[in-house]
Chains A and B, each alone.
Chain A
Amino acid sequence: MTLTQPPVPQEAVASPDDPTRASAAPPHRPRRAPLAGAAFLAPAVALVVLLLVVPFAFTIYRSFFDDNGFTRSWVGLDNYTAMFADPAFGQSVLNTFFWVVGTLLLPVGLGLAIAVGTWKLKLGAVARFAVILPYAISGSATAVVWTFMLSTDGGLDTLLRLLGLDPLVSQWLLQWPLNTVMMIIATTWQATGACVILFLVGLQSIPPSTLEAAQLDGASGWRLFWAVTFPQLRPMTIVVVGISIVGSLKVFDQVLLLTNGGPGTASETLALTMYRETFTLSRYGSGAAVAVFLTVVVVAASYAYLRRQLRPANG
């Protein structure tokens, strides 16, 4: 990852009269310490591989079988061919795509806008509170509230009637693709808070001197943002976009709780299809095939995005 400026507060670098620096010898190369590296890396790798990767490898294995939890028989690629041939699968892929686009536009875009917009404002804390609060509220409470809002004659319909906007009253969660759009809005309500926090962390690591220098040069408002602030935020933007891509491809809870993939299977996403095959129909092989497909898509998307952004770490 290349940087244009050191994004670290000035006081982090040892001051010139630091006694340890005074008698410094010329900087020597870092010692090769493969064992130390392994020791630092080991706990994380061990836990992730043992508890996450190994069970997943078993799921890959399972996708080649016809498995109902009791008996298992080898079917090779049959689960995969059946999956691709199923029209409901195509619908799932389409919905998942909607979610990715929606999540990149809304929570990430709004999160950035709100973080930057409220950063310097004294009253910004109020806006931040309003936006971050939903993230702290539990998923089941969120689902209940949004079901209130979006069910027929629920909160939104009542509000629209109150405002005299009767023609807009719809069955928000019962028509596809309207329900997918509304669910994306509900998720935006909750997820923007996370993006705001991450962007605030990023903003905070911009050295004030950089901004002051730019403002002295006459940049302000939109130009300041576009020319200075946004580029400085790049590391954090990468984190946020990377996470959003992964999260939106895997979206599950909101769809399950608000529409259960309905009506029929119209608003199912890939994670929901996998869940239905595995947990409802007890067809572990088919569910595993969908899981493998979803994982491949997520890995490919993340890799394609991050590879351009990540270069080998400095050193």
Chain B
Amino acid sequence: MPHPIPGGPSMTRRTALALGGAGLLTATLAACARGTDTRPSAPGTVTLNSDNPTWGPGYDAASDVLAARIGYRITSRSIASVANYNQIIRMTAQTNSTTDLIKWTNGYRLQDIARADILTDLNEVWDDAIGRGWVDPAQRASFTYEGKAYGVPLYKSYYAVFYSKRAFAENGIDVPTTFDDLMSAAQTLKDAGITPFLAPGATTWESEIWFMQLLASLDPDYYAAVTTNQASYVDDPARAAMDLWSTMYSDGFFSAPDVTSNDLPGLVSEGRFGMMLYGTWFANTLLASGLTDDDIGFFRVPPHASSTAPAVIVESGSLSVPVKAHRRDAAVDVARNWLATDVQEAWVGFLGDTSPNPAALPKSDLVKDLAAGIAAEGPTELIRYWEASPTPLVEGNVQDLGSFMVTPSKAHGESTLRSMEARARTEWKIWDAA
């Protein structure tokens, strides 16, 4: 019998068989390991799928109250990548490996999947909630498709300016009440060597933030019209907005467009933070990094002219129930009770944000005054651009806006609007045809 030919660590047949056998055994044992999350949920719980892993403790807090009310808890699972999450929901919601509840967006993105008849009609849940004063009836429209509501508000955030109290105090700036005040506040900060506005968005969805806010301050009715295909992107209000934006850039009011919002806590601790226009859900991050009421305040961007009605941009996610959910009735029950005041108080207590239920005030002081101001003044609520039009249109336009932020000249503003309008013509035709 020939001996193993030398020439390196010899792989005798025995070793090879041993390795192969071990591998096979391991693989077989591994086959027994199924995911803990994809098994049907334990009794007394409903599963929720979301794309935000950091909200787990919030669902737990809300579940404590829900368990007391209806005997059901929420176990949440998350898929960290937003793009993957979207695809997975689209795929699983058509099968019965879906979770009982899903987190989604409202507006046209909700309509997109509602059209496929995979979500449960929640009209009676809305009737119930409105009857009990748990939610603002005006929100219903953005959750509705062809007369049926397909989700309840999971959260409700406003777009407001986060400002550094220390920077304002040190430079003698008062909270602006008019648009001109805002511009001079920015100028003062700039003169003091602080970048006035932290404005991310070169390659992300955030490029829409200033676009939608400037439109809201200039002409809220136009914003509502252009996002529902009743106005053109090259009309005067849009051009005025892009001109204004371009001017603010040339005045040096904005940071470079490739900053990230996560820089904010560090900048605050270095005393180099001025302002940032963002969604109030971001308060959660600030709380987690240890910032308090003494560091950060909020105010809404005032209307551009005193004759314009005040408006504020709202972002609201949707809690929806797939038709093929295992525990569909329990999930609908959870949706029905989600807006209850005590559940919402537990929820926003964690989030630090405002609640869709006007009676549930945020525990965190950071947002409380803002919420109170909005409740008192009652501005027009406009839906965030991300959901305000069909998805492909918004995705393409947001990319154009990001490109504008990199080269914010007036000429580029004009060509950006033309590009957005061209896309709108194509995409609205496709949406209406489907």
Q: Which residues does A use to contact B, with CB under 8 Å?
A: 9, 11-12, 14, 20, 68-71, 151-153, 171, 173-175, 259-266, 275-276, 278-283
Chain B residues contacting A259 (CB-CB under 8 Å) are: 203
Chain A residues contacting B69 (CB-CB under 8 Å) are: none
Contact bitstring B112-154, A, C-beta under 8 A = 1, else 0: 1101101000000000000000000000000000000000000
* Complex: chain B residue closest to A21, CB-CB: B2
- Would you call A152 and B256 a contact (CB within 8 A)? yes
> Can you list 6 residue pairs at the A/B interface with Cβ under 8 Å?
A20-B2, A70-B90, A70-B113, A151-B259, A263-B399, A280-B83
Chain A residues contacting B91 (CB-CB under 8 Å) are: 69
- Would you call A171 and B256 a contact (CB within 8 A)? yes
A179 to chain B, nearest CB (A): 10
**Cα(A175)–Cα(B259), bound, Å:** 15
Contacts known (A152-B256, A174-B202); A12 close to B7, Cβ less than 8 A? yes
- Would you call B392 and A283 a contact (CB within 8 A)? yes
- Would you call B118 and A70 a contact (CB within 8 A)? yes
Contacts known (A70-B118, A281-B395, A283-B392); A171 close to B406, Cβ less than 8 A? yes
**Cα(A279)–Cα(B84), bound, Å:** 7
Chain A residues contacting B261 (CB-CB under 8 Å) are: none
**Cα(A261)–Cα(B399), bound, Å:** 9
Contacts known (A174-B406, A279-B84, A283-B392); A263 close to B7, Cβ less than 8 A? no
- Would you call B5 and A262 a contact (CB within 8 A)? no
- Would you call B7 and A174 a contact (CB within 8 A)? no
- Would you call B90 and A12 a contact (CB within 8 A)? no
* Complex: chain B residue closest to A264, CB-CB: B403
Contacts known (A175-B406, A279-B87); A11 close to B399, Cβ less than 8 A? no
Contacts known (A70-B118, A280-B83); A174 close to B395, Cβ less than 8 A? no
Out of B6, B90, B118, B399, which one reaches A264, CB within 8 Å? Answer: B399
- Would you call A263 and B395 a contact (CB within 8 A)? no
**B interface residues, tally (CB under 8 Å):** 34
- Would you call B90 and A282 a contact (CB within 8 A)? yes
- Would you call B256 and A263 a contact (CB within 8 A)? no
Task: Tell me, yes or no, whether B86 is within 8 Å of chain A by CB.
Answer: yes
- Would you call A152 and B403 a contact (CB within 8 A)? no
Task: Tell me, yes or no, whether B204 is within 8 Å of chain A by CB.
Answer: yes
Among B112, B392, B406, find the residue whose CB has the most chain A CB atoms closer than 10 A: B406
Task: Tell me, yes or no, whether B345 is within 8 Å of chain A by CB.
Answer: no
**Cα(A237)–Cα(B87), bound, Å:** 39
* Complex: chain A residue closest to B6, CB-CB: A11
6 closest A-B pairs by beta carbon, nearest first, are A70-B116, A152-B256, A264-B403, A262-B203, A260-B203, A263-B403
- Would you call B203 and A71 a contact (CB within 8 A)? no
**Cα(A117)–Cα(B405), bound, Å:** 46
- Would you call A171 and B116 a contact (CB within 8 A)? no
Given contacts A69-B94, A174-B258, 7 further A-B contacts (CB under 8 A): A11-B6, A69-B87, A153-B256, A171-B406, A262-B203, A263-B402, A264-B399
Interface residues of B in 341-361 (CB under 8 A from A): none
- Would you call B258 and A173 a contact (CB within 8 A)? yes
- Would you call A69 and B90 a contact (CB within 8 A)? yes
Interface residues of B in 247-289 (CB under 8 A from A): 256-259
* Complex: chain A residue closest to B113, CB-CB: A70
Out of B6, B258, B392, which one reaches A171, CB within 8 Å? Answer: B258
- Would you call B258 and A265 a contact (CB within 8 A)? no
Task: Tell me, yes or no, whether B391 is within 8 Å of chain A by CB.
Answer: yes
**Cα(A262)–Cα(B203), bound, Å:** 6
- Would you call A279 and B392 a contact (CB within 8 A)? no
* Complex: chain A residue closest to B257, CB-CB: A174
Contact bitstring B84-109, A, C-beta under 8 A = 1, else 0: 10110011001000000000000000
A205 to chain B, nearest CB (A): 11
Out of A20, A262, A281, which one reaches B403, CB within 8 Å? Answer: A262
**Cα(A173)–Cα(B399), bound, Å:** 15
Chain B residues contacting A173 (CB-CB under 8 Å) are: 202, 258
